[in-house]
Structures are given as C-alpha cells and as structure tokens.
Structure 1
C-alpha cells in the first residue's frame, strides 16, 4: 500500500496501520471520529478530545517536543504530524525509523483532503466520506446564511505578552474569511505582534476576538483592552477556528452565534 501525504511524500505500508501515534490534537480527535480509537497507542499532552484519551493512551510529549524513547517503546506503524504544529526536526528524526504522515492545512478543502487520506490509510473510507459530506453540507448552509450578514472588520488575538494576532497564510484567517469577516491584520504574515497603541489607531474596527487557545484569554483581558478601542471584545472558542479535523462538522453552528453579538 502506497500513500501520499500533504507534502507529496510517499508513505508505504504492507497493510493498514494498527499502531498509531498522533502528535496533533485535532487529528487525534479525527481518528476517534473515524472509529480507529483502539489503534491509537500514543498522543500528546494537548490531545484533550475526547476527554478520556490521555488516560487511555501513552503520552509522548507535546507538539514541539516529544520523547523519542517513549515512541520507540510503542513500536508505531505510523506517526501523524502537521507541518505547522510539529517541527521539521521532529519529522526528520522520526521518519528515519517510522512511516510519518504530515498534514499541511490552510483551508477547508485541504482539511477535507486530509480526512480522505486518513480514510484511505486506515481503511475507513465510508466513515471519511460520510464526515466529508456532513462538513460540506454544513458549510454550504452556512455560506447561504453568512451571505446576508453585514460584513465586520475584526482582529483575532492568539497570544499576550507580547500581544499577537492572526494574519494571512493561516487556517484561522481562512475561517475568518469563510465567516465574511475582514481581518484588519490580513495584510501581515502569519502571527504578527501588535501593540495596544497600534490597535488604538485602527479605524472602523468592529470586533475583537480573544481566542481560548493557544493563550487562555479570559474576561480580565477584555477589561484590559476596553480602554484601547471602541470595538466590541468577545471571547471565542479557538478550537472551532484552528482544529481542522472532525470538529469542522460542529464549527459552522458555532460560527452562526458569532454573528449575533
């Protein structure tokens, strides 16, 4: 069996992999949704969905730093990585010993392609096709909904000290566009730093979103920014904006609520 990951790398297996190490939280959740939970042997400390996964599987580290010896003891048939969430060094080290699939996702279409690839690799084509169809139906319905909603200029914060926002060439920025939002930092690359002074100079800013991850923003941070801008400031669930697996099936219902604030 020969497969290709999202970097165009060829991966070969004699049979569908049965011992899986996942180094990406959203992809761990996807595996469970596809029905291969029993085949997962290792996850990261950030793999929090489903809630029981970390108590049932070996924890091999985080997404940027892993314990290679723990992985070796698990004797995996495949390791699942992501170009942005995991480091190049991790991938290069692990692929010397194991088949490593790397996802590379900046859009919904690329997320659906990854789901399809997982369906092929893990012999879950029916489950993958069903999930892909559900996500497409949800998105089509949401596209119709959002087409009649007034456009808002937004800023999406992901970090504090320093304050950092989402710029272009990110999955979050793509989903902001799907929502019909105009990212006021959409001309900047990736995750630029921004000062309160710079934020105060932005004209016609309608909405500031403080994400629940990777930085755990809370009500106190809303208070901290109130004197900086006249824009409305809200807390948002970052998983719906950055988890690109099966969580997309629920994301569009959540996005509808953001247009009611």
Structure 2
C-alpha cells in the first residue's frame, strides 16, 4: 500500500476506493524529527517532507487542502478541521469532512479548483504527480508529501504536519495516546501462542501483505505470524498451493468490493482444507480503518489483534 505498491498498478483502479491510496516512489530517509537542521535561521514552522521538499511558514497555514483521506484524518485529529478547505471525494472521516469542498479523486484532481481555493498548503500522499506538483508550486502553493509505512512513521508524519501548522501540543497528546494504546495491545498478547495469519490484498491474482507492509507489522504486533513474511517484496503474489501448504489459522482481508464476504471466500475452490476456512476464522475488515495510515492505525491494530486472539479480547 505504499511506495513499493507500484507493481500493482493493474489492480489499483479496482482497489482505490477500499484502500484509499495512490501510486508511490522511493522514499527519502528523514532524521527523526523532520527538521532541516542545516538551516539555522529557519522559521519554527519548518519541515522537510518524505521526498526532500522543504517548506517554511512565517505563520501557521490558514487554508489547507488534503489530497488523501489519511492526511485529512490527521488534520482533523489535530484540531485543524476548520482550516481544511478542500479534500478528495474519498474523504469520509470524521463526519464533518463530508461538508468540505471536493476537488477530485486520486485519478484526477481539479487543479483549477485547488488554485481557486487559494490554499496556503497542499498535503499529498506519496510523491504525487510531478506535473501537478509543478503547477501548484508555480501558483505559489507549497506542496508536501508523506508516505508512512509503519506506526512509527505515521507518528512521525503527524508530528511533521503538526509542526508546520502550529499544533505540536495537540500532536504530543495524540501520539502519546496512540503509543500508550499500542503498548497496551502488545502487552495483552505477549506470551500468547503465535497464530498463523494470511492477509489478502487482492484475490485475482491472489496477493498477500508481505514483509515491510504495515499490515505485516500489525499482524506481528497483534501476536500473529504472517505466513507471507518471507516473501520477496511487500505485496507478493501467493498461489493456492503455497497458501494451503502454509495453512493460515486466521484469514484476513478488507472489503474492497461488495461481493467479498466471509461466506464467498470460504466457498472458493481449493480453500476447503485451510484451517481458517474450517474454523470459520475468515474476516473482512473495514478498509477505511485498516488501510489508512493515519491516527486510526491503532484502532486497526486492535481489530487485527481481536481477530487473531479473540480469547484475550472478550
């Protein structure tokens, strides 16, 4: 679901509503706090994004456009909802965002409308489209992109967005709460037997959440063992023979299409001998929670943990 997801371009169109993500590129390593320490006279409202773009403000932005639901959720969680003047048509949380001006979706944004809204800042997911970014910058609109791939990186993104919007105190409260809840969940499952888990990214061809994906991290933190953890990339194809051989005890996926139900999945040819199918431990999760790298990622962790270890979360 991230920068290394570009090889899934043939299925992105089908998954976009559920996954709420866009194509990506290689990510720049940050120094941990998001600051450009090489510039001693920088404004305190300064960061470097995940792709080397540096922005600095004399005062906190008053008009912000978000081009990804995850970033929108971060802005609202920081108390910046009244500053958000434009979002994509996929943005649906929190409820207040439904009243915000829509400026397109991931496949096509309305640049003219964005410029017309006169934002002080545009926040994108990933590196974005080079031509669109150039047009926005020509119009004098700063653009920053973030592509977190783990809980720690999501927290770092929250802190960076907070730093340029003057919301560092709110970010401290939010991220501390997230980390406390994460630790609480991890401690609950500590010492429990590892449960074999498969997370289905796509069904035709069958694709898994492999090593380096944040779902891989969630499974491990939740006391599971990702049966695709030794794959060659983050989102590998997984053939049926391999799936049956590794025999997951819990089968997870997200609702990327209406017809994907536990019953339909359990009726798939060849699946009948899988332990998760036999026991009925097949779960279709809310994609808006488990697929968005924002503040609700801890809620996603708890959901995954409940499915893997229901005996602990009764």
Asked if Structure 1 and Structure 2 have the same fold, meaning a TM-score greater than 0.5 normalized by the shorter chain, the answer is: yes
**1:118 is matched with which residue?**
161
- Equivalences, count: 257
Question: Does residue 66 in structure 1 map to residue 112 in structure 2?
Answer: no
Separation in 2 of the partners of 1:222 and 1:33? 35
TM-score, normalised to structure 1's length? 0.87
1:235 aligns with 2:284: yes
CA contact (8 A) 2:67 2:88 kept: yes
Residues 202-241 of structure 1 aligned to structure 2 (within 5 Å): 202-213=245-256, 215-216=257-258, 217-225=260-268, 227-228=270-271, 229-232=273-276, 233-241=282-290
Deviation at 1:230, TM superposition (A): 1.6
User: How many angstroms does 1:93 deviate by?
Assistant: 4.8
Is the 2:64–2:84 Cα contact (8 Å) retained in structure 1?
yes
- Residue in 2 that maps onto 1:185: 228
Cα distance in 1, alignment partners of residues 135 and 239 from structure 2:
38
More displaced, 179-188 or 115-124? 179-188
1:63–1:18 distance in 2 versus 1, CA, 3 Å: same
Once superposed, what is the RMSD of the aligned Cα atoms? 2.3
Residue in 1 that maps onto 2:51: 7
| Distance change >3 Å, CA 253–CA 12, structure 1 → 2 | same
Taking a change above 3 Å as real, the CA distance of residues 110 and 52 of structure 1, as seen in their structure-2 partners, is: same
1:33-92: CA deviation from partner (whole Å, max 9, x where unpaired): 1111111011011111013413x11111112431212211111111111217x4555445
CA distance in 2, matches of 1:149, 1:88: 47
Distance in structure 1 (CA, Å) of the matches to 2:196 and 2:135: 43
The answer for unaligned runs of 5 or more in structure 2 is 1-42, 277-281
Q: Is the 8 A contact 1:171 1:241 kept in 2?
A: no
The structure 2 residue matched to 1:142, chosen from 185, 207, 219, is 185
Cα distance, 1:124 vs structure 2: 1.0
- Which deviates further from its counterpart, 175-184 or 40-49? 175-184
Q: Which runs of 5+ in 1 are unaligned?
A: none
